């Protein structure tokens, strides 16, 4: 475990800088708010016990959150949203890299430019969605609301919200695919 107080302070500063985006990322992938809080607490604890220096704390946190969520979903035998997609639909679309770029803290001017470009394209793509699909995507993915909370707020069933989000995700994957292809070339 780390004993360097200055190192711990820097890690906590970096964690606090991306905490709201990280929390939204985690809550968008869990059905129960307490589970999201547990995941955040677990990855914070993991970060504090890392022996080696972490170059990009935000990227590390998003990767650790994704891994923790995967581990928990396997243990609970619950199907995450990604289970709605077949292997063919999912392909090799870089959702994890995309999330890290969108919600992570840019470390270089190039990363900052890429982040602003992706947000601009995402906002344009979201504007093309039907209002109901856009709302469920934004509220669950960007604001961190659970499906249950959104269902209570809107009066729609959780299943209807899941269906709308599924359609939104499929559209956004297709719409943003060309940008991704351009960036990796």
N-to-C CA span, the chain: 41
> Averaged over 156-172, what is the pLDDT?
90
Question: Given this model, what pLDDT does residue 132 score?
Answer: 93
Q: Residue 82 pLDDT > 60, yes or no?
A: no
> Averaged over 158-175, what is the pLDDT?
89
CA dist 16 and 28 (Å) reads: 19
Q: Residue 97 pLDDT > 70, yes or no?
A: no
Question: Given this model, what pLDDT does residue 3 score?
Answer: 44
User: Are the beta carbons of 26 and 13 closer than 8 angstroms?
Assistant: no
List, in sequence order, the alpha helices (H) in the chain: 5-27, 33-48, 57-76, 87-90, 95-103, 109-128, 131-137, 147-154, 158-184
> Averaged over 120-137, what is the pLDDT?
91
The most confident of 6-15, 71-80, 110-119, by mean pLDDT? 110-119
Question: Given this model, what pLDDT does residue 95 score?
Answer: 55
Burial of 16 (0-12, 13-18, 19+ CB in 10 A): exposed
Give how far Cα 40 sits from Cα of 15, 25, 107, 119, Å: 10, 10, 22, 24
| pLDDT tens-digit map of 42-80 | 888 888 887 777 778 888 888 888 888 877 766 654 334
* Percent above pLDDT 90 for the chain: 15
> Averaged over 70-91, what is the pLDDT?
50
Lowest mean pLDDT of 21-30, 37-46, 76-85, name the range: 76-85
Instruction: Tell me the domain boundaries of the chain.
Output: 1-79, 106-185
CATH code of the domain made up of 106-185: 1.10.10.10
């Amino acid at each position: 475990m780390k004993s360097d107080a200055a190192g711990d302070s820097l890690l906590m500063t970096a964690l606090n800088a991306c905490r709201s985006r990280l929390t939204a990322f985690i809550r968008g992938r869990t059905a129960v708010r307490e589970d999201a809080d547990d995941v955040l607490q677990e990855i914070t604890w993991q970060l504090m016990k890392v022996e080696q220096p972490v170059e990009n704390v935000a990227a590390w946190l998003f990767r650790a959150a994704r891994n923790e969520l995967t581990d928990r979903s396997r243990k609970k035998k619950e199907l995450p949203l990604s289970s709605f997609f077949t292997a063919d639909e999912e392909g090799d679309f870089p959702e994890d890299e995309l999330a890290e770029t969108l919600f992570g803290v840019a470390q270089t001017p190039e990363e900052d430019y890429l982040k602003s470009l992706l947000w601009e394209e995402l906002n344009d793509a979201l504007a093309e969605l039907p209002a109901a699909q856009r709302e469920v995507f934004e509220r669950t993915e960007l604001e961190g609301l659970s499906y249950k909370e959104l269902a209570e707020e809107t009066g729609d069933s959780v299943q209807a919200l899941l269906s709308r989000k599924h359609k939104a995700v499929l559209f956004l994957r297709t719409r943003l695919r060309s940008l991704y292809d351009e960036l990796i070339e």
